[in-house]
Chain A
């Protein structure tokens, strides 16, 4: 794909984000699109956000469960960027009707780093050593692609379908909890809709962060001290609408809640 086309797709996705509109799948517009093209498009979309004063505060890992990998017919996760404007704190009212298109909530574990991680060659031990603390969070994913008709290239180009993030407020050292067996319970309007455990994301959320550090390391991008890394959903996606409230609790990590207005 030539640079002009990458810029056009990146701009289209940015405009769709800002206008809360969707566009046709890029994989329909250009069936030849590659994974590399898709990441280049996501960087153009990100550049547009940064040009308006947004700041990168972290990264997200997506497509970490076997179910979603099978659905998108891929064998590895993907990633996107988190900016300050996406971040909400537990208990927040997320203005769904003015900021999101067709959002879905997923419960995750967020890592906050205290040291840089420069891959490749990063192991789980390096990730644990570099992690300041972990906390429960919601990632509210959203798609700028029409009707969520995404292939892997579409979601990568669209910043890994990231919408907004709601962070818990209880920080726990990664040495204080078994991140593979810790359980997750998600409630929607007071009803338990799903349970899961850390192992749902590539066997452990730590594995996911290690994967990201090594994958980004290959192209010279570090995970930086202070960044928030979302490690991937541990439960199925839940579509949400105005008026919904949700809570996620993680064994040993506490909980996080959100209301959509």
Chain B
């Protein structure tokens, strides 16, 4: 930790303002080059606390940077994590207003809802599997609050890992009905196939990222409460969207979901 409470509160306010006013800012590590992971998560938590104090509900949790190849490339040993807000929730076939965002992108993911608390450190994948109530398909809407896509991982964590919204739909299933590593998905933008992938793209198994989330939270003195909606991480690369775009994601065994950007 390199920052004091007032500096953390100030950066949290700056980032939240960037979100609510859709005005991108210069990445915060330009001003604070020695910012560390603890600072970044403390800023993210301060954003969360400010939102909940105003009546926003935390709608779930998410993991990002869950591709092993990308983690190796970025030289990190765990994904990054953030929280989802109730105002970012969209149902299947939603219209998503572009004017709420700066430059949104989407990623297709496998999401879970848990039935019991998960806590770390020491949480492992079998505990996660035992705690999954059901599995559902999801799309995350990402929107960096930093200018010109200039950011580093520390800045991204402080910016709540670019969380902007999420779409759920499709056909929820019991875990035992699915083989998550080989579960395939196809992303179509305006009828054209733009991305394909399978669950194993997320750390070999999407539930592994939930175990890492529990362990990350454990180090910060928090748990994943029972009943939490968790997005396990992008299976495909993030895809930029523009007004008028229609995105459909077809999942093996989980149905499909779609959205339009208006």
Tell me the A residues contacting B by CB distance below 8 Å.
66, 178, 180-185, 191-192, 195-200, 203, 234, 249-252
Contact = CB atoms under 8 A, between A and B. Distances in A.
A250 B182 contact: yes
B186 A249 contact: no
Contacts of A197: 184-186, 196-198, 252
A196 B182 contact: no
Interface SS of chain B: helix, strand, loop or mixed? mixed
A174 B45 CA distance: 49
A183 B184 CA distance: 3
Nearest to A178: B252
* B: contact size bracket: 20 to 34
28 contacts: A178-B253, A180-B186, A181-B253, A182-B184, A183-B183, A183-B185, A183-B197, A191-B68, A192-B68, A192-B204, A195-B197, A195-B199, A196-B196, A197-B184, A197-B185, A197-B196, A197-B197, A197-B252, A198-B186, A199-B193, A199-B250, A200-B196, A249-B182, A250-B182, A251-B183, A251-B198, A251-B252, A252-B179
B198 A185 contact: yes
B81 interface: no
Interface SS of chain A: helix, strand, loop or mixed? mixed
Interface of B: 68, 179, 181-186, 193, 196-201, 204, 235, 250-253
B182 A183 contact: yes
A179 to B, nearest CB: 10
Contacts of B251: 181
Given A197-B196, A252-B252, 19 more contacts: A178-B253, A181-B186, A181-B251, A181-B252, A181-B253, A182-B252, A183-B198, A183-B199, A184-B198, A192-B68, A192-B200, A195-B199, A199-B250, A200-B196, A203-B193, A234-B196, A249-B182, A251-B183, A251-B198
A5 to B, nearest CB: 40
Nearest to B192: A66
A195 to B, nearest CB: 4
A192 B252 CA distance: 20
A203 B204 CA distance: 25
Most buried by A among B196, B201, B235: B196
A125 B186 CA distance: 22
B198 A196 contact: yes
A199 B198 contact: no
A234 B201 CA distance: 14
A198 B204 contact: no
A251 B204 CA distance: 14
A41 to B, nearest CB: 33
Contacts of A199: 186, 193, 196, 250
B8 to A, nearest CB: 37
A189 to B, nearest CB: 14
Contacts of B186: 180-181, 197-199
Contact of B182 (A178, A180, A185): A185
B182 A251 contact: yes
Contacts of A250: 182
